[in-house]
Amino acid sequence: MLDKRVSLHEAVASIPDGAVLALGGNTLHRAPCAVVHELVRQGKRDLTLVKTASSYDTDLLCGAGCVSRAELAFVGFENVFGLAPRYRLAIETGRVKLREHACYSIITGLRAAVQGVPFMPIAGMVGSDVVAVSGFKTVQDPYSGQSLVAVQAIQPDVAVVHVQEADAEGNAVIYGTRFEDVLIAQAARRVILTCERVVPGEKLARQPELTAIPGYLVEAVVEAPRGAWPLSCAGEYGYDHAFLAAYVDAARGDEATYQSFIEQHILAPDAALAYAS
């Protein structure tokens, strides 16, 4: 069995500036935040983010200047903290160019990539201005003549997924909701996996049907306990309400306040560990 374990620093260093990056998880849950924090520390630039519904991960990457484009359907802290302040600002000032989606059009674009076709038709979308502003074209069903919105394939350069358990080869077990994690892993050119625990491969061999992502799709495995923090990881921990409240408060503040929060809590080498412990 291949041992694909690398350090967090090494895994993130392999993500080039300008990459199209798909992030796992959904809103306040199981996003690969250890990688997100390391992307900020390494000062990545010009990333394109791909995700259905996002919160802190997208807000922080936009606020830290790592992002120039995004394909997203929802960014916000739900009813817990409301709008995502730095994402908002990045779009309003034009620093990040958004191609707005519905969650299902992200899924459809990923599926086209998974199936090796250039586009895929989608049900719905009719009547939405998103079709025009995002440049979605229509296609005619050659059998019935019906017109359908066609979504271009979305092939991320790198998918980053945080799971509860994986073996050293990258066979990954996801407890609870999988969100789009399996789909982004299948669609992407490369997959970086972070996990709460590396477990012996023999454990997975006993019930391989429980493995959500096969190790042969995975390039690198990072053992990252509390790697979704400050977001939740099902069965392990909930989202960190106090930290997120402090984050959103700083993000609503002026640029100096926000940058000092990032320096103190993200850039300082042991900052995240202090909270995460």
The CA distance from 176 to 178, in Å, is: 6
Residue 217 touching another protein (CB under 8 A): no
Among 5-13, 16-24, 87-95, 257-265, the segment contacting another protein (CB under 8 A): 87-95
Residue 200 touching another protein (CB under 8 A): no
Q: Using the rule CB under 8 A, which residue among 18, 45, 69, 73 binds another protein? A: 73
Q: Which two tokens stand for residue 108?
A: 């459809």
Amino acid type, 70: A
Among 93-101, 189-197, 198-206, 222-230, the segment contacting another protein (CB under 8 A): 93-101
Q: Do 86 and 251 meet the contact criterion of CB atoms below 8 Å apart?
A: yes
DSSP 144: T
The closest of 96, 90, 91, 105 to 52, measured between CA atoms, is 105
List CB contacts of 258: < 8 A, sequence separation 6 or more: 63, 86, 250, 251
Minimal distance, residue 204 CB to another protein, in Å: 19
Minimal distance, residue 30 CB to another protein, in Å: 9
Taking CB under 8 A as the rule, which mask of x and - marks residues 256-275 in contact with another protein?
--------------------
The CA distance from 254 to 155, in Å, is: 36
18: left (phi over 0), alpha (psi -120 to 50) or beta: left
Residue 79 touching another protein (CB under 8 A): yes
Size of the site for another protein (CB under 8 A): 53
Minimal distance, residue 99 CB to another protein, in Å: 11
Residue number, 151 or 218, with CB nearest to another protein: 151
Residue 243 touching another protein (CB under 8 A): no
Residue 27 touching another protein (CB under 8 A): yes
Among 40-48, 154-162, 176-184, 215-223, the segment contacting another protein (CB under 8 A): 176-184
Q: Using the rule CB under 8 A, which residue among 22, 67, 122, 160 binds another protein? A: 122
Q: Do 153 and 112 meet the contact criterion of CB atoms below 8 Å apart?
A: yes
* Tally of CA atoms within 13 A in the half-sphere of 205 that contains its CB: 5
Q: Which two tokens stand for residue 26?
A: 């959904």
The CA distance from 63 to 69, in Å, is: 13
Minimal distance, residue 162 CB to another protein, in Å: 14
The closest of 38, 5, 44, 30 to 157, measured between CA atoms, is 44
Residue 74 touching another protein (CB under 8 A): yes
Residue 26 touching another protein (CB under 8 A): yes
Which residues would be at the binding site for another protein (CB under 8 A)? Answer: 26-29, 52-53, 72-76, 78-80, 83-84, 87-88, 91-92, 94, 98, 100-105, 107, 111, 122-131, 133, 176-180, 182-183, 232, 234-235, 238-239
